[in-house]
Structure formats: C-alpha cells, structure tokens
Amino acid sequence: MSAYRHITVSPLAGALGAEIGGVDIAAGLDDATVAEIRRALLEHLVIFFRDQRLDDASHKAFSRRFGRLFVHPNFDLGQADPEIVRLVRQPGDTRIVGEEWHTDTTMMPAPPMGAILYALDVPPYGGDTLFANQYLAFETLSDGMKAMLTGLRAVHSDIRVAGPQAGLNARRSSRVREDANWRPTESVHPVVRTHPETGRRCLFVNHSYTCRFDGMTERESRPLLDFLLEHGHRPEFTCRFRWAAGSIAFWDNRCTKHLAIHDAGPFPRRMQRTQIAGDPVV
C-alpha cells in the first residue's frame, strides 16, 4: 500500500486494527481524506479514532460518506431517529448487546457493510471490544476444509437476538423488538464469502445468527459449525480496543467478527451506532 498523505495510520495488532490520526470528523472531511479512510478500513478491517466530538448530525454525515444508512429492524422501536441505535449498559444488567462473537445483522439478505460506533460515556475500566479477522480464519484452514466449505451455505436467523422468545429486554437496558407482531428474519448465505472490494475470501459464520447449514438439521450442523465458530476468533486473529469518551470504532462487517466484553461491573456505558448498507453476500 502507498503512504497516506491526509491521515496517520498506526496499526494496533498484527491481525487487524489501526488507529487513525489527523482527522476531525465533526469539521467535515474532503474527498481525498475520506478515500484514505476507506483504504485504511480495507487494509486494517477495523479502524479507530480518538478524541472526537460528534452530535447525531455529524455522526450520520460521516457515516453517509461511505454509503447509505441502514435501519436495523429489531432496534426500530418507533423512536424519532431509527438511523442511530443507542446502546446502553447499566449496572445490574445481566446481558449486553453483542456479548457473543458475531457479525452484525447477518439475517438480512444484504447485511450491512460496516458500522460506526461512537463512545459517549465509558467505564474507567472494562467494556472493551474484541475484533477478529475472518480472512485469516479462512486462509489458515487446511486445503481439504477449504474445498469442503466452498459452495456450502448456511442459514442465518435473528431468532436468538430479538423477539419475545429471546426475552432479552428483561435482562438488559438496550431494548429490541419483542412485540407480538415480531417475526424472525432468515437468509441463506455462503459459508465462504468473497469481499466485494478486495476480492479476498473470508469465513462468514457467526454465533449470534448462524443456525445451521442449508439442507441440514441443527444437530447435523453442530460439530462442524462449532469448530468454525471457535476457529474464527483464535487469539492470533484478534485485536482488542479500550474505549474512552470520544472514541470511534469503524469496522468492515463483511470480513470481521466482534464481541463486547461484559465486565464493566458497577459502571454505566453509553454508546451510539450507525450502520452502513451493504450488498448481497457472494
């Protein structure tokens, strides 16, 4: 990759992740700077910004530089602005959003290409986020496993993360739809995905949404699926981000998984997130 002229890029770990400097997002960015941020995202899979000061308008304006905003159907609770999801953790919550290794919203026919998460109020310790490189998850498999997975498809559903049967609202402060009219959303995606911009192949299964392989029962699917889910976040595939107020994480949802660590103890944690619309999985 050629040198960056408009931003600084400091890698965070060997597998993925980099901190971006020299950027004031709220002030607005020219096209050249946005192009370098996109290039850094494609190179490092998840990028981080420090000491930013965003309101809702500037958060959404920055997100729109990378695509159309995606409205998450399970967080669309009739609020005035469904394009921003408020993620709140309060002391006493026994569950939090994103505490399992997942790729966002993969039950959709075209899952979001990325998400931009902004920290408003964070604990003095705890509440970090882990990210995992799914290019490496695929590339480190044996040739035999790669050949077996190529062409295999998996069923993704939101039945575990929303709806009255999940019962999450009684255990956490961030609410999702649990009304009687809620119905599961289900899509079938390739187990091995080709990234639409880089052309690289990556593993595309996750704990929150992937239920089984297409054409198989959950019981038949479980041994291989469990292996792939665990393999996908081996420590050498990951990076860890410690939040501070004003920090931003922008991840490529097409080739990463992530996990919110539920260890904030007596402290609240307030974040807000936009998602950027994506393409069908191929």
Tell me the Ramachandran region of residue 27: left when phi exceeds 0, alpha when psi lies from -120 to 50, beta otherwise: alpha
What's the pLDDT tens digit per position in 65-119?
999 999 999 999 999 999 999 999 999 999 999 999 999 999 999 999 999 999 9
Torsion of CA 137, 142, 144, 147, to 10 degrees: 30
CA-to-CA distance for 60 and 23, rounded, in angstroms? 16
Read off φ and ψ for residue 50, nearest 5 degrees. -115, 155
What's the pLDDT tens digit per position in 115-166?
999 999 999 999 999 999 999 999 999 999 999 999 999 999 999 999 999 9
Q: Please tell me the predicted confidence (pLDDT) of residue 1.
A: 53
CA-to-CA distance for 118 and 131, rounded, in angstroms? 16
Domains with residue ranges and CATH for the chain:
70-276 (3.60.130.10)
CA-to-CA distance for 213 and 216, rounded, in angstroms? 5
What's the pLDDT tens digit per position in 230-282?
999 999 999 999 999 999 999 999 999 999 999 999 999 999 999 999 999 99
Please check the confidence at residue 2 and state whether its pLDDT lies above 80: no
Q: Is residue 106 packed enough to be buried (19+ CB in 10 Å), middle (13-18) or exposed (0-12)?
A: buried
Cβ contact 36:42 at 8 Å: no
Give the residue numbers annotated as catalytic, written as ranges: 102, 104, 258, 273
